[in-house]
Amino acid sequence: MTRRRAVDLIPPVALLASLLLAWEAGCRALRTPAYLVPPPSSVALELWRGGPDLAVSALHTLAMAGMAFALASVTGLGLAIGSGLSPALERALRPLAVAAQVTPVVAIAPLVVIWAGVDHPGRAIVALAAVVAFFPIFSGAVSGLAAADPDLERLFDLYGATRTQRLARLRLPSAVPFVLEGHKVAAGLAVIGAVVAEFVAGSGGAQGLAWRILEAGNRLQTARMFAALVVLAVMAAGLHSLLSIVERRLLATWRGR
Please give the class, per CATH, of domain 58-212: mainly alpha
Q: Is the pLDDT assigned to residue 38 strictly greater than 80?
A: yes
**Residue 220 corresponds to which amino acid?**
L
Identify residue 209 by its one-letter amino acid code: L
Which tens digit of pLDDT belongs to each residue from 12-25? 778 888 888 888 88
206 pLDDT tier (thresholds 50, 70, 90): low
Given a cut of 80, whether residue 242 has pLDDT beyond it is: yes
Tell me the pLDDT of the chain averaged across its residues.
82
Contacts of 128 (CB under 8 A, 6+ apart): 68, 105, 108, 109, 112, 193, 194, 196, 197, 200
Question: Which residues make Cβ contacts (< 8 Å) with residue 213, sequence separation at least 6?
Answer: 199, 225, 228, 229
Considering only 15-19, 184-188, 191-195, 202-206, which range has the smallest mean pLDDT? Answer: 202-206
Indicate the residue type of 156: F
Distance CA 191, CA 43 (A): 22
Nearest-angstrom CA–CA distance, 122 and 113? 9
Task: Confirm if 170 and 148 have CB atoms less than 8 A apart.
Answer: yes
Q: Per residue in 125-150, pLDDT tens?
A: 888 889 888 888 998 888 888 887 78
User: For residue 7, what pLDDT is reported?
Assistant: 66
